[in-house]
Structure formats: structure tokens, C-alpha cells
Copies of this chain bind each other. A is one copy, B any other.
Amino acid sequence: MKNLKKFFCLASLLSVSVSMQAQQALFNSSQVKSPEIHPDNTVTFRLYAPGANEVTVSGDFLPAQQSVANLTKDENGVWEYTTPEALTPELYMYSFGVDGLRMMDPANVFMNRDVSTVTNIFLIDELGSRAHLYKVNDVPHGTVSRVWYDSSGFKMKRRMSVYTPPGYEDSSESYPVFYLQHGAGGDEEAWLALGRTAQILDNLIAEGKAEPMIVVMSNGNAYQEAAPGETSEGFTKPSMNVSGMNKGEIETYYPEIVNYVDKHYRTKADKAHRAMAGLSMGGFHTLHTSKMYPDLFDYVGLFSAAIFPFEGSENIPVYEDFEGKLKTQFEKNPKLYYIAIGDKDFLYDANKQYREILDKNGYPYVYYESPDGHIWKNWRIYLTEFVPKLFK
């Protein structure tokens, strides 16, 4: 075989990549590094676009009053912009504008989809910062699974994402379960991708700040089996579709999910070891599910929650006797009723009105108010605040 040893060489394997990329790429962006995060937490964005007349970058890393920043072109056709100041640790999103056309950064393969919009992402990390919880760190990692269950309520297969904590596979212990719901336009992928749930749980557990727990992120869209692209409808464009939201099905059939999880995972299957939280529409689901089934969850979290049922929900049992059901729920002394919202959230007033009802009746709750509005930055913050309070 000696004569064969030189037959195959590294170079030939690498050449495939080069030629494949050459076929695909209409320009040479391979030398361009973007975004480049400097040691002082300033960031440089770069785009190779020699023919462009104007290149801008937009994203939530810019100051609130600034919608875009202009990149400047060097002699090689590479456009560049460096933030004038260090960025605060956070998971940021951005995209480029080239002569008015929005585009992704071809040098950055990391992106998030929010409803039907895809943006590039980058993380400014700093030890001890909250953003450090959003990073994959060198700590034990839980398992993330996409699981299908048969819903007899919806008469369809439905998909959920399940996080089991580090060590789950190698122990015979039972674990508490945290049910976490997305908002309108989201799906069972949203909390994992945009919410960094697996990273937040891994890190909080590693730091001893959270109990090891199972996290169940089910699909909260009544009309939908699973996330776009994961159903027999094929690659259909995601949309804000809240059809069926006022029928109370998600809430009514929620025990199906709990039963599935209790049957298929090693859970502590009682109220004291169950939490439910959700953002926006998912907060609405959490509010109404937890009061419809007051013996199910001892921990309830409303993140920027939609509160009140709307037109068309009359005669739906879930939504009837709002205050009566609340009374029953609070008579059973839930261990934690948590409300969080941003001071610029369009649901701020509805939450204020709801808190007035709770106050009026003397129902205890924990309230957390943050700056900004109805955005994922806030929902990640609320998750990091809520999880350490569970199952203690």
C-alpha cells in the first residue's frame, strides 16, 4: 500500500470547498471578517461590495435614536463601520442595506428568524454580565429534543421542543418541569433560537442559580402542527397568524402536553414542581391555562403578556368568569405569580389594569419592570430573572 499513501491528500479535499464556493459566490468575501468584536467591545462590520454606492448597517446595537449607520469604502471595495463606543454585553441583531436593499452579512452564518424576518446576530460577552448567560460556555450541556405528540384535542400531531438538564441521561432522578410558551408569530423553535433558553438553563444550572429542570416549549399556535418548514405544508412563509387564539383550545388542551411529558420523562408530577410562563400571546395562554387548571402550576410567569380575551371569545369556558377563576387560583396560594413587562410595551396599560385587579383583591405577585418594549431582549431578561425563582 506504500504507493497509495500519497494518492489522497489533504489539498484535494480542501479544493472541493474552494471550487464549490467559487461556483456559488459572485464575489470574493472570504477575506472579510464581519462582525469583528474587538477586545474593548467595539465592533467592526464589513462588506465587500465594490460596485455599491451606499452601504448601511442597522440593528439593535445602534443607539435608540439612530436607525442606520453608514459604512465607508476602502480601496479594495470593502465597506466598513466601527461602533464609536463599546457595546454593552448583549445578543444583538443587524443587517446591511446596500443601495436601499436589505441583506444579510455574507461573512456571518449566524442568524435568527423572528416571524418572517431573518437577521444576523452577534454576542457581546463579559464575564458576570447577563449576556454571559446567553453564550455557550464550557459547562455541562443539557439535551435538546424535538418531539411529536398526538393531540386528541386538536386531532393532529403536534411538535414541541424539550430541554432536559445536564445529567438527566445518567441519573434516575425525577425533575421539575417548566412549560414555556412563545408569542404570536413564534413557534416551538422561538425560545431556543431567539430566547437562548438552552444556554440560559445550562449556565444558570452550572452556576448553582437554578434547579436542574426540564423545559418544555410547545407550539402555541392552534392552527399549526409545528414550526414553518417542519410540517407537510412544506416551506411556507411564516406569518403572524393568531387564528384560533380566541377559541381557548391551547389552554383547554394544555393538560395533554403535561400528561405527555409526565408519561415520557422522569418528572416530579405535581403542582409544586410545575411552572408555566409565556411571552405576549404565550403569556395570555399562561394566564388563562393556569387559572383554568388551578391545580396544575405553582409557578406562573407572564412576560409582556396579552391579558384580556377579545371579541369573539364569548361563551368560551376558558375565558368565562375571569375574576371567579382568578379567585380560585389565588385561594390555592400559588408559590409565585410573576409579571414582567417593558415600560414601552404596547401591552403596558393592559398589564397595569390587570395588576390593579390583582392589587384590589390582594392577590400577591412579583412585578418586574424593564426599559424598552415588546422585544426579545426583554424576554431573555425575564427568563433569567424567573428561572432562579423556580422550585426552591
Binding site for B on A (CB under 8 A): 1, 4-10, 12-17, 20-21, 23-27, 29, 33, 49-52, 56, 58, 67, 95, 97-104, 106-111, 113-119, 121-123, 125, 135-138, 140-141, 143-148, 157, 159, 166, 169-170, 184-185, 228-232, 234-235, 237-238, 240, 242, 245-246, 264, 280-281, 306-311, 313-314, 322-323, 346-347, 350, 353, 374-375
A307 touching B148, Cβ below 8 Å: no
Residue in B20, B140, B347 whose CB lies within 8 Å of A114: B20
Is chain A's interface secondary structure helix, strand, loop, or mixed overall?
Answer: loop
Inter-chain contacts of A306 with B (CB < 8 A): 8, 13
B144 touching A5, Cβ below 8 Å: no
**A10-B169 in contact given A100-B51, A118-B109 (Cβ < 8 Å):** no
In the bound complex, what is the Cα–Cα distance between A25 and B145 (angstroms)? 33
Inter-chain contacts of A136 with B (CB < 8 A): 229-232, 234
Residue in B24, B103, B104 whose CB lies within 8 Å of A58: B24
Nearest CB of B to A376, in Å: 10
A234 touching B135, Cβ below 8 Å: yes
A143 touching B146, Cβ below 8 Å: yes
Nearest CB of B to A33, in Å: 8
Inter-chain contacts of A106 with B (CB < 8 A): 102-103, 118
Residue in B107, B116, B137, B346 whose CB lies within 8 Å of A15: B346
A350 touching B8, Cβ below 8 Å: yes
A235 touching B122, Cβ below 8 Å: yes
**A280-B13 in contact given A138-B232, A235-B108, A310-B5 (Cβ < 8 Å):** yes
Inter-chain contacts of A185 with B (CB < 8 A): 17
Inter-chain contacts of A25 with B (CB < 8 A): 102, 117
Nearest CB of B to A57, in Å: 11
B184 touching A169, Cβ below 8 Å: no
B147 touching A169, Cβ below 8 Å: yes
B242 touching A13, Cβ below 8 Å: yes
Copies of this chain, complex-wide, total 2
Residue in B234, B246, B309 whose CB lies within 8 Å of A125: B234
* Other 14 A-B pairs with CB < 8 A, given A123-B235, A143-B146: A5-B313, A10-B245, A10-B246, A13-B280, A13-B306, A16-B184, A20-B374, A25-B102, A27-B102, A51-B101, A99-B99, A109-B228, A136-B232, A141-B148
User: Can you show 10 pairs from A to B with CB atoms below 8 A apart?
Assistant: A8-B308, A13-B280, A27-B100, A33-B237, A104-B118, A109-B228, A136-B232, A141-B159, A143-B145, A143-B146
B242 touching A353, Cβ below 8 Å: no
Residue in B21, B23, B240 whose CB lies within 8 Å of A14: B240
Inter-chain contacts of A230 with B (CB < 8 A): 136
Nearest CB of B to A207, in Å: 15
B138 touching A147, Cβ below 8 Å: no
**A23-B145 in contact given A308-B8, A346-B16 (Cβ < 8 Å):** no
Nearest CB of B to A136, in Å: 6
In the bound complex, what is the Cα–Cα distance between A230 and B138 (angstroms)? 10
In the bound complex, what is the Cα–Cα distance between A113 and B106 (angstroms)? 11
Residue of B nearest to A1 (CB): B322
Nearest CB of B to A56, in Å: 8
B234 touching A123, Cβ below 8 Å: yes
B13 touching A184, Cβ below 8 Å: yes
In the bound complex, what is the Cα–Cα distance between A116 and B23 (angstroms)? 14
